[in-house]
Amino acid sequence: MGEKQVIHDSLSDNTDLLPTKPEARTWKFSHYFSIWMGSVHNVPSYVTIGGFFALGLSIWQVFFIIMTSSIILAGMMALNGHAGGKYGIPFSILLRTSFGRKGAIIPGVLRGIIAAIMWFGLQTYAGSLAVTILIAEFWEPYPTLGADWSFLGLNLANLISLLLFWVINVFFIFAGVDALGKLTKLLSPMVFVVFGGMSIWAINLAGGIIPILNFSEKGVEGNSILIILSCISAILATWVAQILSVSDVTRYSRTNKGQSCGQIVGLLITYLLFAVASITIIVGSEIAFGVPIWNVLEVINRFDSKFAIILSLLTICLTTLSVNIVGNIIPAGYQLASLAPKKLNFKSGAFIGTIIGLLIMPWKLMESPTSIFTFLNMIGGMLSPVIGVMLADYFIIKKREINLQELYFPNCKGRFSYGVNWPALLTTIFAGCTSLIGRFIDILEPIYNISWFTGIIVSVALYLLFIYLNNLLHASRTDKDLANITKGG
């Protein structure tokens, strides 16, 4: 069967789900170098580091946590992005190689629809708050626009900012992947200027770098090694969705070397800047004011220069936009398209996802952040084992060789192409329960605190074991069938 036969499936009606054509694979090292900057430099990331200092960790312990996380993350991105770079297929289709066509629906919906759309709504609302502050820099009465008028809890200014930021997100759906590439390239120098400037501001505020380096920590209570591991796991857990669906962007790479080197170098350098900026801002502000500043928006409010404030707010808006497009819109679009390939393509699927992201009223969800983030963390705990299954299947079981006919050709007799790969699904369930059980059983809480590591390590071991047992069972049945045929003969 030649390659042309591959596209005679219902998926062939949807070109967005087919392997990326060579002429469309235009992304180079520079694109992947800057693509994740928005995911690193944002308000929640700085708040997270503030939480590490609140635990009593020292400057060097926090620096070790950040850089160790970046090394592990960069490796994971490059590894799980390899299949996308080699075969040009999106995550929703790649997932079928390890879970089967029907089996891929469960993890695909959890990552590409539920998590992506909910995070889209939350990120869009968070970005709209920065938009409101930015507009107010040009027109001071803007936040009080409409007086006491409100719509489902939103005042007029916040509603306008939300819709404006939503429209900008939607623009990139229809502008295409080239527009996203230009955005990431534009964002790169802005991130270095703004967050590098914040670091310099904090160092001057503290009276130089020496007071920051000599800052004495409170000291941690309990096992410091376990706390450090839990902090690394916490950083990596925020990336579980992006690691899973990284093939959605690596499918556009000219070479696998370009995507892997670009992501590795980009993430390491970006996290180095993040480590310096977050530590100096948090520690420097505590030295100067007696209270650490965890929110970078508060740092911006203390700037004297109107130009610096506007540039910083614009950068925050663009970093939020970047992470929303790459981490939420793209996975949701491809997943919805894969569920209904004859009715939806990527653009229509992504657009529907953005509408649902507004309909869930994210401003209401953020009124109770504990419940929504607990729910999303539970999804993350179930998704980290999926990473382990995908990596074990692709690199160990399949040895980086994928039969595209099993994915696209309807009459192909591949073992898992149209059904469920039960070893993968059972592994995900068992490993997910193992990584989350500590939330409900106090004695097992340390396992939950390092759930990212638990989910991946357990899933790799279990998947290889289940595949081995499944092969033994399959071989045993084959031998019995042969014996029966021989007797019958």
**Residue 210 in tokens:** 């020496």
Structure confidence at residue 222 as a pLDDT band (50, 70, 90): low
Q: Number of structural domains, the chain? A: 1
Highest mean pLDDT among 107-121, 363-377, 452-466: 452-466
The three-state secondary structure class of 162 is helix
**Residue 401 in tokens:** 């060789």
Distance (Å, whole) CA 398 – CA 80:
14
The one-letter amino acid at 399: K
In a domain, 175, yes or no: yes
Percentage with pLDDT > 90 across the chain: 31
Answer for the pair 106, 389: CB distance below 8 angstroms, yes or no: no
Q: What is the pLDDT of residues 110-130, one digit of tens each?
A: 887 777 888 888 889 888 888
Check pLDDT > 60 for residue 4: no
Task: Give the lowest-confidence range in 182-196, 209-223, 349-363, 457-471.
Answer: 209-223
Mean pLDDT over 212-233 rounds to 81
Check pLDDT > 50 for residue 8: no
Check pLDDT > 50 for residue 1: no
In a domain, 373, yes or no: yes
Distance (Å, whole) CA 322 – CA 131:
15
Distance (Å, whole) CA 37 – CA 192:
10
Structure confidence at residue 219 as a pLDDT band (50, 70, 90): low
Q: What is the pLDDT of residues 330-344, one digit of tens each?
A: 888 888 888 888 888
Q: What is the model's pLDDT at position 71?
A: 97
Which sign does the torsion angle of CA 353, 356, 360, 366 carry?
Answer: positive
In a domain, 409, yes or no: no
Q: Which residue has the higher pLDDT, 10 or 135?
A: 135
In a domain, 84, yes or no: yes
Mean pLDDT over 408-417 rounds to 55
Q: What is the pLDDT of residues 25-83, one digit of tens each?
A: 999 998 899 888 878 887 778 878 888 888 888 899 999 999 999 999 999 999 999 99
Which sign does the torsion angle of CA 382, 385, 386, 387 carry?
Answer: positive
Structure confidence at residue 418 as a pLDDT band (50, 70, 90): low
In a domain, 246, yes or no: yes
**Structural domain harbouring 186:** 18-383
Q: How far is CA 398 from the centre of its chain?
A: 25
Highest mean pLDDT among 66-70, 298-302, 306-310, 342-346: 66-70
**DSSP assignment letter at 367:** T
**CA angle 18–397–264, rounded 5-degree value:** 65
User: What is the pTM for the complete model shown?
Assistant: 0.84
Residues in the chain: 489
Mean pLDDT over 146-157 rounds to 81
The one-letter amino acid at 301: N
Q: Which residue has the higher pLDDT, 412 or 259?
A: 259
Mean pLDDT over 396-410 rounds to 82
Check pLDDT > 70 for residue 368: no
**Residue 249 in tokens:** 């962007």
φ, ψ at 213 (rounded to 5°)? -65, -30
Q: Which residue has the higher pLDDT, 365 or 404?
A: 404
Structure confidence at residue 2 as a pLDDT band (50, 70, 90): very low
In a domain, 7, yes or no: no
Structure confidence at residue 5 as a pLDDT band (50, 70, 90): very low
Q: What is the pLDDT of residues 234-259, one digit of tens each?
A: 889 888 889 999 999 999 999 999 99
Check which CATH number belongs to the domain holding 142 and give it.
1.10.4160.10
Check pLDDT > 50 for residue 185: yes
Q: What is the model's pLDDT at position 380?
A: 73
Answer for the pair 277, 95: CB distance below 8 angstroms, yes or no: no
In a domain, 325, yes or no: yes
In a domain, 365, yes or no: yes
Check pLDDT > 60 for residue 266: yes
